[in-house]
Amino acid sequence: MKKAAIFDLDGTLLYSLEDLGNSTNAALREYGLPERSLEEIRRFVGNGVGMLIHRAVPQGTDAALESACLKYFQDFYRAHMQERTRPYDGVLDMLDGLHELGLQTGILSNKFHEAACALSRIFFAGRIDVTQGEQQEIPRKPDPAGLIRLMKKLGVSPEETVYLGDSPEDARTAQNAGVDFVAVTWGYRTLDQLREAGAREWINRPEQLVAELRRETRRKG
């Protein structure tokens, strides 16, 4: 029986693409570099902000300039990260439903830790038990270290945990940690991309997760 549900953040719990895109383009403009479309930003996100900026700057950009763009992005994003960001429809009710079923909840994100924690507090106060973003001592997904760390904090085993996300990196993270994975189809990647990465279960609406776990509880209760 599942005792914890852990979620990716961007594209899974939060629609954040426009704020990520606006912050990226603010950094590119600051240094006279060509801006990127929202569709390009969609393809670039998922592997941490360092990789987002690396993909966004022109190929061959000097390392020092790329580093400056990254710092500008981080500073700008801290100030503007909630302007257009919002929970997906049904997410808050889903989290409430999971707690009603007795499940603990967590966030595991490749977003830098400070921003992940801030967004969790802003949008999910009282609904998320523990949040883990990117930190130097914890490798980014799909390395399972962050997910394993969260399970230890929550006191649950891989068998008692389900991880939900919208990207191939999320699917591989769950596989690497021995955790069941459920893909969400409303995020930044396509279902075909998720299936190619090994996803075998998916949901189209947040409430489907609560309904499935409720059925599981009844079967095993």
Cite the active site residues: 8
3-state secondary structure of 143: coil
Instruction: Please check whether residue 12 is in contact with residue 124, taking contact to mean a CB–CB distance below 8 angstroms.
Output: no
User: Which candidate, 44, 38, 35, places its Cα nearest to that of 21?
Assistant: 38
Instruction: Please check whether residue 19 is in contact with residue 85, taking contact to mean a CB–CB distance below 8 angstroms.
Output: yes
Distance between CA 4 and CA 35 in Å, rounded? 40
Other Cβ atoms closer than 10 A to 76? 18
Q: Is 178 exposed, middle or buried (0-12, 13-18, 19+ CB in 10 A)?
A: middle
Q: Name the token pair of 106.
A: 């967590």
Amino acid at 201: E
- DSSP labels for 109-131? EEEEHHHHHHHHHHHHTTT-SEE
